[in-house]
Amino acid sequence: MELKVLGQAEPEAPKGGCSAGSCGSTDDQLSHLPEDIREKVHNHPCYSEEAHHYFARMHVAVAPACNIQCHYCNRKYDCANESRPGVVSELLTPDQAVKKTMAVAANIPQMTVLGIAGPGDPLANPERTFATFRALSEQAPDIKLCVSTNGLALPASVDELAKHNIDHVTITINCVDPEVGAKIYPWIFWNNRRIKGKKGAKILIEQQQKGLEMLVERGILVKVNSVMIPGVNDEHLKEVSRIVKQKGAFLHNVMPLIAEAEHGTFYGVMGQRGPKSSELQALQDDCAGDMNMMRHCRQCRADAVGLLGEDRGAEFTMDKIEDMEIDYTAAMEKRAQVHAAIEQELAAKQAKPQAPALVPLESLGGGSKPRPVLMAVATTGGGVINQHFGHAREFLVYEASAEGVRFIGHRKVDLYCSGGDTCGDGESVLGGIINTLEGCEAVLCAKIGYEPWEMLEEAGIQPNGEHAMEPIEDAVMAVYSEMLEMGKLDAKTDDQETQATA
């Protein structure tokens, strides 16, 4: 079966953000999809941007072994990029994983998806991975199963995957050229030997591409993850994106390299930097052709639990689970009810005639289009502005323009600074947040204190608490319209300072 990828007719993916209609709300894109595919993605938090506000996922860490080495991974510690648990996290046996899944699914009825993402490569641990899938497809048939892999063992596993009724597979593909690959993968283990350098990378690339084709043939949805490594594969990823789309991948997720020296990864130790938010965004826009780009990925750990962006893993450690009493049948019924209620809410939201979130072009006067503006939003989910500025651990970034509002990505604050952003030791947390929000001209939140208000304003970012509890897109457009009326949008982009304090 051929998967319908939006506008797939052209083998050459059109470049450039919004042109192909792939920006803006994911709803639009879902509505173009055939019913059977919609069915597979509508409640998967990673495949549907909309769904991720409502539905939860979890990962079980049953797969420790890996069959390749990546320069952004350190097997001794938590891998920052590829969702690995740290040394303190629990490695689970398949039995424990099943138990944990049932416990979480009973306690978090919004849960729809169980994934195996490591901490090594799930397909390099086929027995543990498939034992877990086998048991779960019997005992929790309403939970979707998915798996992430580096792709090396994928062709050999496709039939087995298809047997377990797995709808979604994520392949991490960082290159399609062995020259580039040799800079990312020092070695692979293949046919009973360690193969280094370009030769190893070539085999890995061949297996990944073959695996992708085989999955698409069987109607399994494929998401491709790529780690953006400045100076190594950043330019090359456009080519990767083009090829995987052409082969029928459903979603492309370009993630920033995380390479802190203290993670002890090769890149971290060698001082390879990660991309800035703006560089990542530009590459994502370049890759956005006729396919969805995933922009809401949180680079979760291999034992993450809950909604994307939250981690409730600590509530479900094995010793806590042992003491939980779970009525599986009742839990499944409850899940069905909760899911139905969410579906209803989503349907109602869609049915509601959407106020045209566009600035009417007539109002712009005879002149040029108003420039686009980035805004950050504090939310705990549900698609509304409902979080206090000071409680936000991440901000969602939206771009408002004459074309409407589109989701750009999320930026973590507080504990982290996204890779590449400078956040010196001496700076306050607030200073770090302001750095992280670089490029945004407004912050929309439910409430904000006096001190951060002042500092944000000083930094040229206008705080705004007037749209609490309103739907994000509407509020962003309202603020954009205000800015337009106040004549702030024809001013030069880089002179934010004067605009915000004006």
Partner 1 sequence: MALKIIESCVNCWACEPLCPNQAIYEAKPHFLIDAKKCTECEGEFADAQCASICPIEGAILDALDEALNPPGSLTGIPPERMAEAMAELQAH
Task: Please report how close the Cβ of residue 298 comes to partner 1 at its closest, in angstroms.
Answer: 25
Question: Among 18, 20, 65, 318, which residue sits at the site for partner 1 (rule: CB under 8 A)?
Answer: 65
SS3 500: helix
**Is residue 120 a contact point for partner 1 (CB under 8 A)?**
yes
Judged by phi (left if over 0) then psi (alpha if -120 to 50, else beta), residue 415 lies in: alpha
Is residue 301 within the footprint of partner 1 (CB under 8 A)? Answer: no
- Min. distance of Cβ 46 from ligand SF4 in angstroms? 3
Phi, psi (rounded to 5 degrees) for 68:
-140, 170
The interface with partner 1 within residues 76-105 (CB under 8 A) comprises 76
What strands, in cross-sheet order, belong to the sheet with 305-306?
A: 292-293, 251-256, 221-228, 168-172, 144-149, 111-116, 56-59, 305-306
Instruction: Read off the DSSP letter of residue 411.
Output: E
Please give the full DSSP string across 145-176, using - where no structure is assigned. Answer: EEEEE-STTHHHHHHHHHHTT--EEEEE---S
Minimum CB distance to ligand SF4, residue 413 (Å): 17
Q: Which does 186 bind (CB under 5 to 8 A by kind): ligand SF4, partner 1, none?
A: partner 1
CB of 64 to partner 1, least distance (A): 4
Task: State the maximum Cα–Cα separation within the chain, in Å, rounded to a whole number.
Answer: 69
Task: Find which of partner 1, ligand SF4, none residue 66 binds, CB within 5 to 8 Å per kind.
Answer: partner 1
Question: By CB under 8 A, is residue 271 in contact with partner 1?
Answer: yes
Instruction: Check binding of 153 to partner 1 (CB under 8 A).
Output: no
Select 187 or 480, whichever has its Cβ closest to ligand SF4. 187
Question: Going by DSSP bridges, is the β-strand pair 462-464/440-444 parallel, antiparallel, or unpaired?
Answer: parallel
Concatenating the DSSP letter of every residue in 427-457 gives S-HHHHHHHHTTTEEEEE-SB--HHHHHHHH
Binds partner 1 (CB under 8 A): choice among 266, 453, 468, 474: 266
Which range binds partner 1 by CB under 8 A, 121-129, 133-141, 418-426, 494-502? 121-129
Number of residues that bind partner 1 (CB under 8 A): 29
Q: How far is the CB of 57 from ligand SF4 (least distance, A)?
A: 6
Among left, alpha and beta (phi > 0; psi -120 to 50; other), residue 420 is: left
In the complex, minimum distance from the CB of residue 150 to partner 1, in angstroms, rounded to a whole number: 13
**Among residues 4, 15, 134, 196, which is the contact residue for partner 1, using CB under 8 A?**
196
Q: Which of residues 434-453 bind partner 1 (CB under 8 A)?
A: none
107 φ/ψ angles, rounded to the nearest 5 degrees:
-90, -25
Q: Is residue 174 close enough to count as binding partner 1 by CB under 8 A?
A: no
Q: Is 202 in the site for partner 1 (CB under 8 A)?
A: no
Q: Is 300 strand, coil or helix? A: coil
Token code pair at residue 130:
């498939």
SS3 content of the chain, % helix, strand, coil (to 5): 40, 15, 45
* Strands (E) located in 245-380: 251-256, 292-293, 305-306, 373-377
229, 254 Cβ separation under 8 angstroms? no
Q: Which does 196 bind (CB under 5 to 8 A by kind): ligand SF4, partner 1, none?
A: partner 1
Q: Which of 163, 193, 320, 369 touches partner 1 (CB under 8 A)?
A: 193
The contact set with ligand SF4 (CB under 6 A) reads: 46, 57, 83, 297-300, 308
Closest approach of partner 1 to the CB of residue 69, in Å: 6
Chosen from ligand SF4, partner 1, none, partner binding at 306 (C-beta under 5 to 8 Å by type) = none
Beta bridge partners, 57, equal 113, 306
Report the C-alpha gap between 120 and 130 in whole angstroms.
15
Of residues 41 and 483, the one with the C-beta less far from ligand SF4: 41
Residues making contact with partner 1 (CB under 8 A)? 64-67, 69, 71, 75-76, 120, 124-125, 127, 186-187, 189, 192-194, 196-197, 230-231, 266-267, 269-273
